[in-house]
Amino acid sequence: MKITTIIGARPQFIKAGVVSREIKKHEDITEIIIHTGQHYDYNMSDIFFKELEIPFPDYSLNVGSGSHGVQTAKMLAKIEEVLIKEKPDWVLVYGDTNSTLAGSLAAVKLHQKVAHVEAGLRSFNRLMPEEINRILTDRISDVLFAPTQNAVAELSKEGLSENTLFVGDVMYDSVLFYQKKIKQNFSAYKIPNIPQDYYLATIHRAENTDFPNRLQSILDAFGELDKPVILPLHPRTKNIIMNFKVPKNAVIIEPVSYLQMLALVINSAKVLTDSGGLQKEAYFLNKYCVTMRDETEWIETLENDWNIIVGADKDKIINATMKKNSNSDRIDAFGNGNSAGKIIKFLTERYR
């Protein structure tokens, strides 16, 4: 059996790496990895792949940035060429990027079977390009691998239950795997000159960085917190923030690797973020999270206030961060840490 995996951004490499490790256990499965190049990443280097034990791509399409229409069109054309050449039995797409949509469109028009990992998520905010990508990909995929029962329920509402399978979240698999690696040699992933007691924050979404009032409100909130705020920033966001009033307790550091980020989460007091992935990673690592967005796809994390939605409201950010949380248990909503095994088992059985 031949599986073609299509990815274009660093989080997708991490998710796909979990499944790739499972594929390696099967001598009768060949995996072809296509990297669209949707996001240039400073960390997308030999070190990145070796650190995370992720296979190198077989095809790098180097599409680069551009408007949504231009970028998706370029990817669609280039992915199609590879799929015609490779003729896979399954095309695996992940998440909700333009690479996800382009890969699924290219495959389905060639009558190749598409499997969508992380299907059924909805923010119900159609202003988000990711929301459109999710909806369209789910509509045209042959099998929908849902990470939670809420995702299963959403797909059922949309009339897609026949093609839906609950497998759990591959990111939970990933965190469990890498957490062991970090704990075996924690000092290797520790960032120098970081205070002992801190909050970890990330800001990257356009809904925050492109609106001065929202961004300044978030920064003002950081300035009134009772601990330093560690803020790893990509160059684009760093350039934007430098035009604003940055509080003294915000410790801006260079971007970090995935394993360094997990180590920062493990040592943090709480996590403040507008990232979808970091909300879950905090949850998996038993850290309370304050989400600086107006909604979340990961509604399971909201149970017992493990995650609190605050938008960019200064007072809400401060109150949620300073709040003394209870020790309520997290709900077991993301599977048992063997999502990749379930995915490959299904694809293998369906192939036969």
Torsion of CA 138, 209, 322, 314, to 10 degrees: -110
Buried-exposed string 112-127: b where 16+ CB fall within 10 A, e elsewhere: bbbbbbbbbbbbeeee
Q: Which of 39, 68, 116, 204 is catalytic?
A: 204
285-289: long-range pairs with CB below 8 Å, 24+: 285/175, 285/179, 286/330, 288/325
CB 29 within 8 A of CB 344: yes
Q: Which CATH architecture has domain 2-169+335-351?
A: 3-Layer(aba) Sandwich (3.40)
Q: Is 39 a catalytic residue?
A: no
- One digit per residue, pLDDT tens: the chain, 352 residues? 999 999 988 889 889 999 999 999 999 999 999 999 876 554 455 667 777 888 889 999 988 777 888 999 999 999 999 999 999 999 999 999 999 999 999 999 999 999 999 999 998 888 888 999 999 999 999 999 999 999 999 999 999 999 999 999 999 999 999 999 998 998 889 898 899 999 999 998 888 999 999 999 999 999 999 999 999 998 888 889 989 999 999 999 998 888 999 999 999 999 999 998 899 999 999 999 999 999 998 999 999 999 999 999 999 999 999 998 877 888 889 999 999 999 999 999 886 5
Question: Quick one: how far is CA 114 from the chain centroid?
Answer: 20
2-169+335-351 and 179-322: same fold? yes
CB 320 within 8 A of CB 310: yes
CA angle, 330 as apex, 329 and 333 as ends, to 5°? Answer: 140
Structure tokens at 287: 């850290």
Q: Which CATH architecture has domain 179-322?
A: 3-Layer(aba) Sandwich (3.40)
Domain residue ranges in the chain: 2-169+335-351, 179-322
- Residues 303, 324: Cα–Cα separation, whole Å: 15
Those residues with Cβ within 8 angstroms of residue 310's Cβ, 6 or more apart along the chain or in another chain? 290, 291, 292, 316, 317, 320
**Its pTM surpasses 0.85:** yes
